[in-house]
Chain A
Amino acid sequence: MPELSLTVNGKKIQIDVEPSTPVLWVLRDHLNLVGTKFGCGMAQCGACTILLDNVAVRSCMLPVSAVGQRAITSIEGLSATGDHPVQEAWVEQDVAQCGYCQTGQIMSAVALLRSNPNPTDAQIDAAMSGNICRCGTYLRIRKAIHTAAKKQRTI
């Protein structure tokens, strides 16, 4: 198999992997970064959301060969100790119930706040509607995004 060069969470790596493998499974099975979750496999639920450069993408349908030079950030690369403002806001608002979808929700929220540091409810709803939470934590997610926006403004 051809060796691929990737930048994952700030580190350059070489990896032997079948090129059509979705980034989701490269992260989970080959790099043991299991914070990125499998939910649907067809970019419908957002559990697998990562950042490519600064853009939120669904990693479950993205072949690793299509990544190119873009930097991959998974939940593990967001902060060293969980102190990213969005992560802190999630804990402060005690968002999670089962918690499974939340890493994907957080990555979508991070991408939103990078492009729009002070989103309205409607902008949050639009940006976050690719992420499903069956536990129904949407109201706390909305609140946490406002909390994170405030934190980022005061940093």
Chain B
Amino acid sequence: MAKSYSRRNFLKVSALSGGGMLISFNLLQLSAGAQPADSEPFAPNAYIKISADGSIVLMAPNPEIGQGVKTSLPLIIAEELEVNWQTIQVELAPLHSAMGRQTAGGSGSVRGRYNELRTIGATAREMLVAAAAQTWSVPAAECTAANGEVTHTPTGKKLSYGALAATAATMPVPAKPALKDPKTFKLIGTRITDVDAKKIVTGQPLFGIDTRKEGMLFAMVSRPPAYGKTLGKVDDTAALKVQGVKKVVQIENAVAVLATSTWAAKKGRDALVVQWNDKEKLENTADHFDSFKKLLDKPSATPPARNDGDVDAAAQQAVKVLDVYYEMPALSHGQMEPLNFYANVQNGKAALYGPTQVPASVRSEVAKKLGIAEADITIASPRQGGGFGRKLMTDNGVEAALISAAAKCPVQVQWTREDDMQNDFYRPAEMWRYRAALSATELLSWHQSGIGIGRGVRGDSYIAGSIANYRAEGQGFASNTPTGWWRAPGANTLAFAAESFMDEICVALKKDPVAFRLAILQQAKQQPVGKLSYDPDKYKSVIDLVVSMSNWNSKKPGIFKGFSTWYSFGSYVAQVVEVQLVKGQPKIMKVYCAVNCGRVINLSGAENQVQGSIVDGIGHAMYPKVTFVNGAVQETNFHAYKMLRMKDAPMDIEVGFVPSEEPPTGLGEPGLPPIAPALANALFAATGKRIRKMPFAEQMG
């Protein structure tokens, strides 16, 4: 029998089934002042578990969607805890009230948890040192912790963390544990391989789609074939005759077929005869863009988000006026793992397991929909085959719970790629109008006006704050085609328009794109106009670094360069794209990328994120789009929704990080926004053709 008790609200001691003691430090409960009940059984959700046999498990509190936090978050604990990284184990934590913001989004995991996880590691380390000092009756100051053991420096005596764990649990909790001097970091800033690397390459069951539980049925769901349609009559006679099909259930606006295998469920789903009724307007992408253009050609219906000086008066003094439109299509998320979710809703309780970036939101929505108390719902997420913002929406988890509740059995709901493409929350289609007034040598005014499906567009470029006459307007466009968050939301389209337009201004004024931007930042630093929402010195730090990495000022024969820079999620990025014409077709030979993201935690993971953001950004600038015709998505799978493939990836991407002693800032997204304009600017240099519309490939002919 496992005996469990709480000590000072944060430590739990329990017997391991294999013998020995298991100590868990549940420090967030302590710091949050929470009072766990004494009767609470040992819950494997602490950040650190040290057992008597010396094995150490560190928990990764946030969902892993490919951004590397299952490696980088425990790495921060391990640094302060002083353990041998090679011998520890890492697990993904289920949703637990003691673990704070368990979300993957906004490039926030590392930057939000850096100090917290250091403190947690340091607290445990100090308690282990105190335990050793007490055991040896020596001052704690004579003891040092390293490599999973404490050493009494004068005598050389050693005790392992495993041997100390039981005593450590009785030590007082240090109020302010001493954090390590970053100069002594052994792990942070080095190259650490993903903790799941071996499991990934051997095909271990790591993902939601791999979930297999006792009594579970596989489900496929028939959902509306177009936005604006609603469920009508259902004839499931043929579906129920398909070998392996067990049940058909209706939920809200959909019908689920449950079967003994995924393929049987799909065949059953395809055999359903469902009548879909037109309930709302069936919309078309072509109409969206026609409306965008008409609205942008009228005075803005909404007041400007920012209005410095007088852009209209400045235009009167102009020698030249630039007035251009940029367009970005709707995009699907296209994460490689099609959506899925496991749910077991029975007897007023729910167990949920599957891909989500927001487990707490899934739980609260399931609680509301099914009338189950949140305390009776458990939820955890496995490693996920990409997120990119799709799983900030909760539909896949909630749907699975509704199906399980209706079918009264555990169910694994599997989406096909077509399901995924037709039922997404898309990167909104947008159009931007950019106007600039130029004198013979100077930029006099900048006027940007944007419109997009859904909540609308917003944001400024760094020009805001450096120029006397600036106006930014943004508006939304009502539609029943759903929109959501897509990697670097807002920034991924705004940067394309703003940084391409900046290049157009440089061309018109015959200015070097780098020198022109440095002058803007200098102006912003010395004489800001109104509010500055960035640090000009940090912008300059990445521009200077990428200029030196890429030898910007040197000409290379046959190489055409494009430059762009953007600030998002707390991090500054500057990029140079080098394009060569191969048989008249542009080929991306090299991308240079400088990043200022504060302190880098895992150099290998950080570099991978930045390189990946660049490849991802190039791919989505170049190839795919989502087109609605009568509410139905035309690009139903990867044959029509074109993803970048290896042959079109850059031959090389060099990433440089500005050395920084500051806490880490975002890194899963900031590499993406500047790459589309850097590429468009390089393509202009190579071909003389200005690309103002995504996907670029359609413009290149």
Q: Which residues in B have their C-beta under 8 angstroms from that of A97?
A: 66-68, 608-609, 612
Whether B309 sits at the interface, judged by CB under 8 Å, is no
By the criterion CB–CB under 8 Å, are B615 and A139 in contact?
Answer: yes
Interface residues of A in 6-56 (CB under 8 A from B): 18, 21-22, 25, 28-30, 32-42, 44-45, 47
User: Contacting B611 at CB < 8 Å: which of A18, A34, A139?
Assistant: A139
By the criterion CB–CB under 8 Å, are A141 and B646 in contact?
Answer: yes
- Say how far B339's CB is from chain A's closest CB, in angstroms: 11
By the criterion CB–CB under 8 Å, are A132 and B638 in contact?
Answer: yes
By the criterion CB–CB under 8 Å, are B203 and A91 in contact?
Answer: no
User: Contacting A125 at CB < 8 Å: which of B604, B613, B647?
Assistant: B647
By the criterion CB–CB under 8 Å, are B646 and A128 in contact?
Answer: yes
Closest B residue to A29 using CB positions: B261
Q: Which residues in B have their C-beta under 8 angstroms from that of A38?
A: 209, 262, 338, 414
Pick from B14-22, B500-508, B649-657 the stretch touching chain A: B649-657
By the criterion CB–CB under 8 Å, are B203 and A76 in contact?
Answer: yes
Contact with A along B171-210 (1 / 0, CB 8 A): 0000000000000000000010110111011111111011
By the criterion CB–CB under 8 Å, are A37 and B614 in contact?
Answer: no
Interface residues of A in 94-153 (CB under 8 A from B): 94-103, 106, 121, 124-126, 128-142
SS of B interface (majority): loop
By the criterion CB–CB under 8 Å, are A34 and B205 in contact?
Answer: yes
By the criterion CB–CB under 8 Å, are A99 and B200 in contact?
Answer: yes
Whether B645 sits at the interface, judged by CB under 8 Å, is yes
User: Contacting A40 at CB < 8 Å: which of B205, B261, B417?
Assistant: B417
- Say how far B507's CB is from chain A's closest CB, in angstroms: 30
Whether B565 sits at the interface, judged by CB under 8 Å, is no
By the criterion CB–CB under 8 Å, are A135 and B66 in contact?
Answer: yes
By the criterion CB–CB under 8 Å, are B616 and A135 in contact?
Answer: yes
Count CB-based A-B contacts (< 8 Å): 193
By the criterion CB–CB under 8 Å, are A138 and B616 in contact?
Answer: no
Q: With A94-B608, A136-B613 as given contacts, are A41 and B637 in contact (CB-CB < 8 Å)?
A: yes
Interface residues of B in 149-167 (CB under 8 A from A): none
- Say how far A26's CB is from chain B's closest CB, in angstroms: 8
Whether B452 sits at the interface, judged by CB under 8 Å, is no
Q: Which residues in B have their C-beta under 8 angstroms from that of A78?
A: 202
User: Contacting A34 at CB < 8 Å: which of B210, B645, B647?
Assistant: B210
Contact with A along B656-682 (1 / 0, CB 8 A): 000000000000000000000000000
Rounded to whole angstroms, the CA-CA distance of A44 and B638 in the bound complex is: 6
Interface residues of B in 256-295 (CB under 8 A from A): 261-264
Q: Which residues in A have their C-beta under 8 angstroms from that of B653?
A: 139
SS of A interface (majority): loop
Whether B298 sits at the interface, judged by CB under 8 Å, is no
By the criterion CB–CB under 8 Å, are A98 and B66 in contact?
Answer: yes
Closest A residue to B209 using CB positions: A38
Whether B337 sits at the interface, judged by CB under 8 Å, is yes
By the criterion CB–CB under 8 Å, are A34 and B209 in contact?
Answer: yes
By the criterion CB–CB under 8 Å, are A94 and B604 in contact?
Answer: yes
Pick from B364-372, B380-388, B545-553 the stretch touching chain A: B380-388
Q: Which residues in A have their C-beta under 8 angstroms from that of B385?
A: 37, 98-101
Most buried by B among A29, A40, A126, A132: A40
Closest A residue to B338 using CB positions: A38
User: Contacting B647 at CB < 8 Å: which of A21, A30, A35, A126?
Assistant: A126
Rounded to whole angstroms, the CA-CA distance of A30 and B260 in the bound complex is: 10
Closest A residue to B259 using CB positions: A29
Most buried by B among A32, A39, A91, A126: A39
Q: Which residues in B have their C-beta under 8 angstroms from that of A32?
A: 212
Q: Which residues in B have their C-beta under 8 angstroms from that of A37?
A: 207, 209, 336-337, 385
- Say how far A56's CB is from chain B's closest CB, in angstroms: 14
Q: Which residues in B have their C-beta under 8 angstroms from that of A59?
A: none
- Say how far A33's CB is from chain B's closest CB, in angstroms: 8
Closest A residue to B263 using CB positions: A25
Q: Which residues in B have their C-beta under 8 angstroms from that of A100?
A: 66, 207, 335-337, 385-386
By the criterion CB–CB under 8 Å, are A132 and B336 in contact?
Answer: yes
Contact with A along B466-501 (1 / 0, CB 8 A): 000000000000000000000000000000000000
Q: Which residues in A have their C-beta under 8 angstroms from that of B203?
A: 33-36, 74-76, 103
Q: Which residues in B have their C-beta under 8 angstroms from that of A132?
A: 336, 638, 643-645
Rounded to whole angstroms, the CA-CA distance of A41 and B210 in the bound complex is: 16
Q: Which residues in A have their C-beta under 8 angstroms from that of B562?
A: none
Interface size on B, residues (CB 8 A): 68
Interface residues of B in 410-432 (CB under 8 A from A): 414, 416-418
Q: Which residues in A have their C-beta under 8 angstroms from that of B261?
A: 21, 25, 29-30
Q: Which residues in B have their C-beta under 8 angstroms from that of A94?
A: 191, 193-194, 197, 604-605, 608
Most buried by A among B67, B218, B243, B649: B649
Whether B639 sits at the interface, judged by CB under 8 Å, is yes
By the criterion CB–CB under 8 Å, are A96 and B637 in contact?
Answer: no
Q: Which residues in A have their C-beta under 8 angstroms from that of B615?
A: 136-139
Q: Which residues in B have their C-beta under 8 angstroms from that of A135?
A: 66, 336, 386, 612, 616
- Say how far A139's CB is from chain B's closest CB, in angstroms: 6
Rounded to whole angstroms, the CA-CA distance of A47 and B335 in the bound complex is: 12
- Say how far B622's CB is from chain A's closest CB, in angstroms: 13
Whether B465 sits at the interface, judged by CB under 8 Å, is no
User: Contacting B649 at CB < 8 Å: which of A25, A47, A91, A138?
Assistant: A138
Closest B residue to A87 using CB positions: B201
Whether B619 sits at the interface, judged by CB under 8 Å, is yes
Rounded to whole angstroms, the CA-CA distance of A149 and B196 in the bound complex is: 23
By the criterion CB–CB under 8 Å, are B210 and A140 in contact?
Answer: no
Most buried by A among B194, B202, B335, B645: B202
Q: Which residues in B have their C-beta under 8 angstroms from that of A39?
A: 336-338, 417, 638
Rounded to whole angstroms, the CA-CA distance of A139 and B193 in the bound complex is: 16
Whether B61 sits at the interface, judged by CB under 8 Å, is no
Contact with B along A58-69 (1 / 0, CB 8 A): 000000000000
Rounded to whole angstroms, the CA-CA distance of A124 and B649 in the bound complex is: 12
Closest B residue to A28 using CB positions: B262
Whether B334 sits at the interface, judged by CB under 8 Å, is yes
Closest B residue to A18 using CB positions: B243
By the criterion CB–CB under 8 Å, are A42 and B68 in contact?
Answer: no
By the criterion CB–CB under 8 Å, are A133 and B336 in contact?
Answer: yes
- Say how far A17's CB is from chain B's closest CB, in angstroms: 9
By the criterion CB–CB under 8 Å, are A134 and B386 in contact?
Answer: yes
Whether B65 sits at the interface, judged by CB under 8 Å, is yes
By the criterion CB–CB under 8 Å, are B198 and A91 in contact?
Answer: yes
By the criterion CB–CB under 8 Å, are A102 and B200 in contact?
Answer: yes
By the criterion CB–CB under 8 Å, are B336 and A98 in contact?
Answer: yes
Q: Which residues in B have their C-beta under 8 angstroms from that of A133?
A: 336
Closest A residue to B610 using CB positions: A136
Q: With A75-B202, A138-B615 as given contacts, are A42 and B646 in contact (CB-CB < 8 Å)?
A: no
Interface CB pairs A-B, < 8 A, 26: A18-B263, A21-B263, A30-B261, A35-B202, A39-B337, A42-B417, A45-B336, A75-B203, A90-B200, A91-B197, A94-B194, A98-B384, A98-B385, A98-B386, A100-B207, A103-B200, A103-B201, A130-B645, A132-B638, A134-B388, A134-B643, A135-B66, A135-B616, A136-B649, A138-B615, A138-B646
Q: A40-B637, A42-B417, A97-B68 are in contact. List 19 more A-B contacts (CB 8 A).
A: A21-B261, A34-B212, A35-B204, A41-B416, A44-B638, A74-B203, A75-B203, A76-B203, A79-B202, A82-B198, A94-B197, A95-B197, A98-B383, A100-B336, A101-B336, A129-B647, A134-B335, A136-B614, A138-B646
10 closest A-B pairs (Cβ-Cβ)? A35-B203, A136-B615, A98-B66, A100-B385, A75-B203, A136-B612, A99-B200, A44-B638, A138-B649, A97-B66
Interface residues of A (CB under 8 A from B): 1, 18, 21-22, 25, 28-30, 32-42, 44-45, 47, 74-76, 78-79, 82, 87, 90-91, 94-103, 106, 121, 124-126, 128-142
